[in-house]
């Protein structure tokens, strides 16, 4: 029996995939749990349209991510932090603070897409990786200065 997956299922496939499973598995588990629908002509047409929309959305997200690259390359990011003895920062610099510093320069990047290798607890020059899209990433260099 062919079914269309409504959600990604690790042993079967991704959302929108048409997969062949045993009839009992489909009727007794996948369909009642809302994980799949029967792959009839109407549902296949809907799944095909949804797949086209998802592909267009992915292309738009990639184009938006690539449009941010020139802005990121030209931006000089400086984060001011409260400092104690010996140049140590009270607390640490987080991806959220980097996102706020970018937002101040009119560059919108979600803080969940920013990765810092080690905690930043000193004044200095650092790097963070911005994963803007699955295929688009950028290594941002920024300075941490005393407030």
3-class secondary structure for 49-74? HHHHHHHHHHHHHHHHHHHHHHHHHH
- pLDDT, mean of residues 25-32: 96
> What pLDDT, on the 0 to 100 scale, is given for residue 121?
92
Would you state the pLDDT for residue 96? 95
CATH topology of domain 2-63: Ribosomal Protein L9; domain 1 (3.40.5)
| Residue 139 φ/ψ, nearest 5 degrees | -95, 110
78-124 pLDDT, tens per residue?
999 999 888 789 999 999 999 999 999 999 999 999 999 998 999 99
Per-residue pLDDT at 85:
84
Q: Summarize the confidence of residues 128-132 as an average pLDDT.
A: 94
Which architecture characterizes domain 66-146 according to CATH? Roll (3.10)
Q: List, in order, residues 6 or more apart from 48 with CB less than 8 Å away.
A: none
- Does this model's pTM top 0.85? no
Q: For residue 102, which of 139, 125, 76, 126 has the smallest C-alpha distance?
A: 76
The two three-digit tokens of residue 14, written as one number? 């991704």
Residue-range domain boundaries for the chain: 2-63, 66-146
Q: Are 83 and 123 in contact (CB under 8 A)?
A: yes
Q: State the Cα–Cα distance between residues 100 and 78, nearest whole angstrom.
A: 11
């Amino acid at each position: 029996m062919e079914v269309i997956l409504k959600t990604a299922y690790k042993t079967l496939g991704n959302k929108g995939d048409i997969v062949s499973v045993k009839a009992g598995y489909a009727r007794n588990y996948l369909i009642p749990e809302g994980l799949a629908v029967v792959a009839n002509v109407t549902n296949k047409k809907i799944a095909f349209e949804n797949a086209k929309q998802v592909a267009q959305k992915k292309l738009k997200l990639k184009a938006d991510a690539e449009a941010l690259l020139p802005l990121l390359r030209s931006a000089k990011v400086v984060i001011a932090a409260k400092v104690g003895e010996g140049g140590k920062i009270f607390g640490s610099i987080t991806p959220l603070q980097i996102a706020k510093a970018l937002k101040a320069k009119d560059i919108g990047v979600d803080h969940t897409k920013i990765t810092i290798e080690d905690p930043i607890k000193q004044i200095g020059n650092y790097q963070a990786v911005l994963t803007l899209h699955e295929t688009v990433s950028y290594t941002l260099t920024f300075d941490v200065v005393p407030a």
